[in-house]
Structure 1
C-alpha cells in the first residue's frame, strides 16, 4: 500500500478518504459475509471513517450508523457517504431493542474522558450498554471495540501484553472496560453469539492521537511528559480495516485481538524526531518509567500482515499537517496518565 500513499495530506477531505480506503483483503472479507452492517456508536472519532470504509468495501450492503448525533453536520456527512443513520440513545433499553437487527454489528460506544467526574455514567456506558446490545443483537456477528487499558502495565523491555494476559488494570475507567468485555463474553456464552473483542491501542488521525499530542507539544514549546515513555500506535485507517475484517473471524468463545502497530514507540525519540522536522529542540519533563501500557500484536500481524501505513510515514504526515495549520480536534489522548484517572 505504501507506494500509493501521499507524502503529505493536503486537507480533511483527503484525510477522510485515506482513513476510509479499504484494502483488497477487506473487500474480499465482506464479500464473503451475508447481511448488512450496523455501526453502534458511529459518532465517535473513528466511527464515521469506519462506516465509510465499510460502504466503500461493500457498496452492495447497507451500512447503518447509530448514534445520538449531537455533533452538528455529522448525520448529513454520513448520509452523503451513503450511510443510513438512526438516532438512538444506547442507554435506552427499549430503543436498543427496537433497532433493526442486521447480521453484522460493530460496537464502538463507550466513555473515557470525564470518567473521574461521573464514574456512574462511565460504568453505565461501558458495562450496561454492552449488556443491552449483546442481548438485543444475540443473533448477529459482533465486533466490539475494547482497549489496551484492560491490561496491567508491562515492562518496556518485554514484547507487550498478549491476549491471554490476566486483566488487572489500574483505575475505574479501565476496569469498566474489563466489564464491557465480560458482558459480551457472558451473553455470548448464553446465546452462542459470535464475537470479536478488539483491544485497540492508540489509533492515529492527523487531528488527534499520541503523535498529534507529542508533535503539538514540540511545536508549541510545551514540555513533553515522559513518565509513560513508551506506547504502540496504528494508523486509524488500518485499525478500521482490521476491525471490519474481524467480522469474518468473530467466534464463540469470542476472538480476542490486540490491535496496534508492532513497534515500541519511545516518546523521547518521537519528540526528538518532531524537533528535527520542526527545527526546534523539544522540552522534556519527568523520567521514563520501566513499565507502560504495551501490547503484543503478533496475532494481528499473523492474521492481517503489517499495517498499511508505516510509523515513519505517520510521523512525517503529522508534522506536515501541523506545519500547514491543519485542524485539531483538541481531544488529547492523555497517554501520559498512569493511574487510570481520566
Structure 2
C-alpha cells in the first residue's frame, strides 16, 4: 500500500466514538447531495462505522451524479445504495425513500455571483420542499459559518448565541436555508440540527491546501484575511453523522470547526519549514475575519481528533507525492461575500 493510499484509508476509517454513536441511530439513513466534496468521505465513515458496529441499516446516497458513474461506482463499492435525482424536480423528490434519518448536503456556492436566482432557488427554496418531503424524519442540515459577519479578531468569535448577519447573497441564501428549515421544524415538529461548518480541510482542497500550494509553488501568500478556523474533514464528517443524535424541535444550531483561531501567516510559515522553502507574504492582516466559536460542538462530540500540525504534515506529504487535487477554491480571502 502506498503512502497516499494509507492516508486515504485513515481518512475513511471510523473512530470508536462514531462506532458507538451509530449504535444509537435508529433506522436507515439517506444522504442528499452525496456527490459533493465531503459526500464520499462522510458516506465511507458511516459505512465503516455501521460495519464495525454490526448494524445492517441501509444507507442511501442521492445526487444527480453529473460526473458520470465515477463517484456513484465508488459509493456502491462501499455498500451505499445510490439513487439519481434532480432535487428541483417534484417527481424525483416523490420517488425518494422516506427513511428515518436525513443528512442534507445540497447547496450552491461557487459561481453564485452572477447566478443569484439559482443560488436562492437551491439554497433557500429547495429546503422547504425537502422539509415537507421528510417531515417525519430527523434531519441534519449542512450550513456554513458564512452566515456570521466578519468579527474583530481582538474579541470573541461568534457562538450559536449570536444572531447571524450574512454578508453577500450566497451567505444570505444560506441563512434563508436555515430559516426555512427552522420554520418547518416548528411547523411539522421535525427534529433538526443546523450544522454550520467552516472550514473543512481535505488533502485535495481547502484553506490549508491552498496556502500549501502557494508556498510549494513559490507564490506569495496574501494574509489580508489574517485568521481562520479549520477542521479536518473526517472529523467534521463524523460530527455530521453524530448530529443525528442531537436533532431537536426547534432546530438545534451547532457550529462546527476546530478550537483554534489560526494565523494565515503562521500556517504559511509552517508549510515553508516543511517544504524547506522561503515564503513571500503580501498584504497586512485586517482587524476582522470570518471566525466561529465551536465550543458547543466540542462539548457534544469532544475536540476534533486531528491537530493542526497533523493536518499540515499530511497535506505536505500529499503535495510532495503529487496526490490528486479538487479544483474548487474556497475563496476564504473573500471579504464582501462575493463567491
Any residues of structure 2 matched to 1:1-342 within 5 Å, and which? 10=2, 13-59=5-51, 60-72=56-68, 73-342=70-339
- CA RMSD, 1 decimal: 1.3
Change over 3 Å in CA distance of 1:157–1:117 after alignment to 2: same
Query: 2: distance between equivalents of 1:23 and 1:179?
Result: 34
For residues 119 and 281 of structure 1, the distance between their equivalents in structure 2, rounded to whole angstroms, comes to 41
1: CA distance, partners of 2:4 / 2:66 = 21
SS of alignment partner, residue 112 of structure 1 = coil
Q: How many residues align?
A: 334
Moved more, 146-155 or 13-22: 13-22
Unpaired runs of at least 5, structure 2: none
Tell me the distance in 2 between the aligned counterparts of 1:71 and 1:50.
19
* Alpha-carbon distance, 1:13 to partner: 3.8
Q: What is the CA-CA distance between 1:265 and the residue it aligns to?
A: 1.0
Secondary structure at the counterpart of residue 163 of structure 1 = coil
Distance of 1:125 and 1:149 partners within structure 2: 17
> Which secondary structure state, in structure 2, belongs to the residue aligned with residue 258 of structure 1?
strand
Q: Report how far residue 318 of structure 1 moved.
A: 1.0
Cα distance between partner residues in 2 of 1:196 and 1:255: 5
User: Which blocks of at least 5 consecutive residues in structure 1 are unaligned?
Assistant: 1-8
**Structure 1 moving runs of 4+ over 6 Å:** none
SS for the counterpart of 1:58 is: helix
What is the deviation of 1:330?
Answer: 1.8
SS of the equivalent of 2:143 reads strand
Q: Using the alignment, how far apart are the partners of 1:74 and 1:338 within structure 2?
A: 33
TM-score (norm 1): 0.95
TM-score (norm 2): 0.96
In structure 2, the CA distance between the partners of 1:312 and 1:218, relative to structure 1 (3 Å rule), is same
Q: What are the superposed Cα offsets for residues 238-269 of structure 1, whole Å, 9 maximum, x if unpaired?
A: 00111100101101011110101001110001
